[in-house]
Amino acid sequence: MKNKKTQIIAEIAQGFEGNPIYSQLFVKAAASAGADAVKFQLVYTDELATPDYKYYDLFKSLEMSDEVWQNISNLANENNISLHLDIFGERSLKLAEKLGVEAVKIHGTDIANKRLLNKVSQTKIKQVILGAGGALQSEIIEALEILKNKEIILLFGFQSYPTPNRDNHINRIQLAKDIFSKSYPSIKIGFADHASPETNIHLGFGAMAIGLGAEVLEKHLTLAKSMKMEDHESALNPDEFMDYVNFIHECESAFGDVTLQDDFGMSESELGYRKMIRRHVVTIDAVSQGEVFSSDNLALKRTSSTQAQSDMSEVIGKMASKSISSNSPVEF
């Protein structure tokens, strides 16, 4: 198993509040913090709700012109960070494809929206993040079947402002790998963390997720928690997000490069440790020249010898080439 590099997405969601300046600052903050991608919700209100819906006006305030989104895309390219967009209908999908984004996200609200899923499958967009928070297994399977021509990131986790720790069900990551990777071998499993930022529990959740097989992590980013911007409830400030990125990559470095060799592909330091702790074969009683070594006259102890045998099986049954005093290393 080769060392993997977890993809970390800085989730802005609605935090940009329809403000082009905020949006640009988010791109720069995400890139500076070491995120691999920055993700916004590309909102056109009438794709999401009817005018009588209670948050219709909020959605309306998030709309920005195509020119603004193009500027955001250009800025992401300049800062070497991928731009991902949540899309909610054909208009936002069309713009996302025009902008050449690497990935679009199908929000959990559209997991069963077959019309939209089919439209996404027909685009040139390479990667689809499939939001699985609140989704049934049967709905996921149907969506995966429609999107089987795409690279899929199946993303678990949901926003509950913030999500209670016990409700994350992180074990679902391992279960999903077992269930879906057989039919969709290229699928990646991800986890969207919405833990309270008031403690460091999000660090533990991220480590747990990659330990269970997650290859993508999504975490909310805000410009400043004190501003109480949209979706700030589970978000990190830019400096905290940088710490999060560094922590996750330090954790994944501990996976190591495991092989099927007898030593599992031990590192040089572990091989050195093995050499240091190995006991040497020593005599229990004095052994005469020509005497055959057996388990009755040998033991394992640490010695100062640099030539002593350490493998008992290599010694038993052989003949002593010289006399050896008791409690002495066997060297040959």
Q: What is the CATH number of the domain that holds 322?
A: 3.90.1210.10
> Residue 197, preceding bond cis, omega within 30 degrees?
no
Does residue 121 sit in the same domain as residue 23? yes
DSSP label at residue 240: H
Does residue 53 sit in the same domain as residue 130? yes
User: What is the Cα gyration radius of the chain?
Assistant: 29
Q: What is the pLDDT of residue 276?
A: 86
Contact assessment for residue 320 and residue 291, using Cβ atoms and an 8 Å cutoff: yes
Cα separation of 103 and 34, whole Å? 18
Q: What is the pLDDT of residue 128?
A: 98
Cα separation of 156 and 113, whole Å? 18
Q: What is the pLDDT of residue 256?
A: 82
- Of the CA atoms within 13 Å of residue 186, those in its CB half-sphere come to 10
The identity of residue 107, as a single letter, is H
- In the structure encoding, which two tokens stand for residue 194, read together? 């919405």
Host H or E run for residue 153: strand 151-156
Does residue 208 sit in the same domain as residue 285? no
Whether residue 268 is contained in a domain is answered as no
| Number of structural domains found in the chain | 2
Contact assessment for residue 320 and residue 289, using Cβ atoms and an 8 Å cutoff: yes
Cα separation of 304 and 317, whole Å? 24
* Residue written as token pair 């996921």: 140
Cα separation of 219 and 201, whole Å? 13
Phi and psi at residue 94, in whole multiples of 5°? -60, -40
Does residue 30 sit in the same domain as residue 134? yes
Work out the angle at residue 159's Cα, subtended by the Cα atoms of residues 153 and 161, and round it to the nearest 5 degrees: 160
Does residue 117 sit in the same domain as residue 194? yes
From 202, 237, 253, the end of a domain falls on: 253
Host H or E run for residue 283: strand 280-283
- In the structure encoding, which two tokens stand for residue 292, read together? 């055959």
49-94 confidence digits (pLDDT tens): 999 999 999 999 999 999 999 999 999 999 999 999 999 999 999 9
Q: Which residues pair with 219 in a beta bridge?
A: 10, 193
Helix (H, G, I), strand (E, B) or coil at 322: coil
Cα separation of 301 and 310, whole Å? 9
Whether residue 216 is contained in a domain is answered as yes
Pick from 250, 178, 215, 257: nearest CA to 1: 257
Does residue 183 sit in the same domain as residue 50? yes
**Helix locations, 80-234, DSSP H:** 90-99, 114-121, 137-146, 172-180, 201-211
User: Which residues make Cβ contacts (< 8 Å) with residue 127, sequence separation at least 6?
Assistant: 102, 103, 104, 150, 151, 152, 153
From 253, 270, 290, the end of a domain falls on: 253
Whether residue 149 is contained in a domain is answered as yes
Does residue 285 sit in the same domain as residue 189? no
Whether residue 260 is contained in a domain is answered as no
68: CATH: 3.20.20.70
Does residue 19 sit in the same domain as residue 165? yes
The identity of residue 156, as a single letter, is F
Segments of the chain with pLDDT less than 50: 1-2
Whether residue 264 is contained in a domain is answered as no
Contact assessment for residue 222 and residue 232, using Cβ atoms and an 8 Å cutoff: yes
What does pTM read for this prediction?
0.85
Q: What is the pLDDT of residue 4?
A: 58
- In the structure encoding, which two tokens stand for residue 129, read together? 């993040």
> Is residue 96 packed enough to be buried (19+ CB in 10 Å), middle (13-18) or exposed (0-12)?
buried
- In the structure encoding, which two tokens stand for residue 1, read together? 């198993």
Whether residue 19 is contained in a domain is answered as yes
Does residue 246 sit in the same domain as residue 292? no
Whether residue 179 is contained in a domain is answered as yes
Does residue 188 sit in the same domain as residue 152? yes
Structural domain harbouring 155? 7-253
Q: What is the pLDDT of residue 2?
A: 45
Q: What is the pLDDT of residue 1?
A: 38
Pick from 29, 176, 136: nearest CA to 11: 29
Whether residue 262 is contained in a domain is answered as no
Does residue 300 sit in the same domain as residue 197? no
Does residue 233 sit in the same domain as residue 187? yes
